[in-house]
Amino acid sequence: MFLRPIHFIPADTQIDFVAKRWWAFSVTIILVLITIGALAVKGLNLGIDFKGGILIEAKAAQAVDTAALRNEISTLNLGEIELQQFGAPTDILIRIQRQEGDEAAQMKAVESVRSKLGSEYEYRRVEVVGPTVGKELLHAGIMATIFAMLAISLYVGLRFEWQFGVAALISTFHDVLTTVGLFAVLQLDFNLTSVAALLTLAGYSINDTVVVFDRIRETLRRQKAVDLRAVINDSVNQTLSRTTMTAGTTLLALLPLVVMGGPTLINFSAALTWGILVGTYSSIYVAAALLLYMPPLRRIETVKVPKTA
């Protein structure tokens, strides 16, 4: 007995996505404007990685309760504090914002943390990250994100045609930019973990877009004279079940991290959750529709049809 595949969306679905593209473009413009406004008014809440600060790596005699430890260190009034457990349950990474003053002020903060933790901890690394290093890390993070999007677009352009590469670049830039806007609007800490989330999102977003583009290419290869609007609609409808199921299963894994992940994981998980929602929407409504506003693809001779709304 063979099990039939599960289809949450009927296989014969025929939604006119192209006709609704103006609504999608309007939502896109609104999200971009909100992002630009938030960045201009509030800016990003840069974390210790980019502003500079103190980094302490320590090992405890027994498993560390990060919540209790965070409360203890918070009583020192040293400003922003980040705790991260890594490796064994006894290993802890403590980040503290840079204190006002010179290096003596930074070392005084280090001694305050050591006094609070006591002799039960073995201190493996103590570093003071200056603002110059923080700016260099911020610049490197921005450049890494830009180069990643350009490389993705170049790959899509070489695999398909340059029009697909341009559409992929615009769509991916939209997803990454609006996710940066989420950090600005909610004033979440923007640190190296956030950059990792943006890079992960860029790869995830282009995955759905490439699936739609591949279906469009297959249809164009089978037919000589076609209506590009009909090809886009058919391709998106045929991949709609796969797109929604992929996004749904990924969100099922991320939502517990958002709810119960704690302050250490909230930035990463919230950014990916928002990015997947926006990326799925842009893959369905925006990416393919952009092909309508570019020079005709080499593989087709587009037939003239009456324009629809």
User: What is the signed CA dihedral for 22, 25, 29, 31, rounded to 10 degrees?
Assistant: 120
Domain 53-129 maps to which CATH number in 3.40.50.280, 3.30.70.3400, 3.40.50.970, 3.40.718.10? 3.30.70.3400
Would you give per-residue pLDDT tens digits along the chain (309 residues)?
Answer: 455 555 666 666 677 777 888 888 888 899 899 999 998 988 888 777 777 777 778 888 787 777 787 887 788 777 777 777 766 778 887 878 777 767 777 788 888 888 877 777 787 777 777 666 667 777 877 888 888 888 877 887 777 778 888 888 888 888 888 988 888 888 887 877 888 888 888 888 888 788 888 888 787 777 665 677 888 888 888 778 777 888 888 888 888 887 776 666 777 888 888 888 888 888 888 888 888 887 765 554 444 444 544
Check: CB of residue 124 under 8 Å from CB of residue 59.
yes
pLDDT at 305: 43
pLDDT for the residue 261:
67
Residue-level pLDDT at 33: 92
CA distances from residue 98 to 81, 190, 254 in whole angstroms, order as listed: 10, 16, 32
Check residue 37 and give its pLDDT.
92
In the block, tokens 């110059």 appear at 132
CA-based nearest residue to 263, from 77, 42, 67, 49: 67
Domain boundaries, the chain: 21-44+134-293, 53-129
- Measure the CA–CA gap between 221 and 232, rounded to whole angstroms: 14
Q: Facing residues of 59 across strands?
A: 91, 122
pTM of the model: 0.74
Residue 306 confidence (pLDDT): 47
According to CATH, the topology of domain 21-44+134-293 is: Multidrug efflux transporter AcrB transmembrane fold (1.20.1640)
Nearest alpha carbon to residue 144 among 185, 182, 192: 192
